Amino acid sequence: MGSRALLMLTNFNFKTTVSSFGSASNPFFLIKNNLRTRNFSTKTRSSLQPPDLPGLAETARISLAPNEVEEFAPKIGQVIDWFGQLQAVDLDNVEPAIRADTEGDNLREDAPQTFENK
């Protein structure tokens, strides 16, 4: 995956960060570092704002007002901490499921079809 290549470029120790997601002591500090090293834009960030929210908002193409950032940051932080509990689960050798169903026969015949040349 391209993301892994990026991580190698930035000399980022993935394992450390993963193990810290579960910890209560300010995981965002480490996430902040992670994003800074991978951030190639020239935009400066205020050190008062939680750094990941503006970056995410830019990726998601939603402009956030400062009061929204203030309002969302703790809530999103809380939920993402809660997501972190999945780190503790032993998931070795478990196949990821793209969706629930096991039917995979929804492809049409591999036969050429002629369409109108519009």
Partner 1 sequence: MLSTIQPPRYLSRFPLRGRTKSRSFHILSSAQPVTKTCFAADQSQILSIRDSLLNRHLSAVELTHSYLDRLKQTEPHINCFLHVSDPDKVLKQAQDIDDKIKRNEEVGPLAGVLVAIKDNICTADMPSTGGSYILEGYRPPFDATAVKRLKDLGAIVVGKTNLDEFGMGSTTEASAFKVTANPWDLSRVPGGSSGGSAASVSARQCVVSLGSDTGGSVRQPASFCGVVGLKPTYGRVSRFGLMAYASSLDVIGCFGSSVADTGILLHAISGHDSLDATSSKREVPDFTSQFTYASSLKSRPLEGLRVGLIRETVDAGVDSGVKSAIEGAAAHLEQLGCVLKEVSLLSFSLGLPAYYILASSESSSNLSRYDGVRYGNQASSDELNALYEESRAKGFGSEVKMRILMGTYALSAGYYDAYYKRAQQVRTIIRKSFKAALDENDILISPAAPSAAYKIGEKKNDPLAMYAGDIMTVNVNLAGLPALVLPCGFVEGGAVGLPVGLQIIGAAFDEEKLVKVGHIFEQTLEGYNFVPPLVTDVGGASPEL
Task: Give the chain's length.
Answer: 118
Which residues, 6+ apart, have CB-to-CB distance to 73 below 8 Å? 49, 50, 53
Q: How far is CA 20 from CA 24, 58, 76, in A?
A: 8, 26, 17
Can residue 8 be called a binding residue for partner 1 (CB under 8 A)? no
Q: Could you say which residues in the range 44-83 bind partner 1, by CB under 8 A? A: 52-53, 56-57, 59-65, 68, 71-72, 75-76, 78-80, 82-83
Q: Looking at 1, 24, 48, 111, which residue binds partner 1 (CB under 8 A)?
A: 1
Can residue 24 be called a binding residue for partner 1 (CB under 8 A)? no
- Which residues form the interface with partner 1 (CB under 8 A)? 1-3, 6-7, 12, 14, 17-18, 21, 34, 38, 52-53, 56-57, 59-65, 68, 71-72, 75-76, 78-80, 82-83, 85-87, 89, 91, 94-101, 103, 105-106
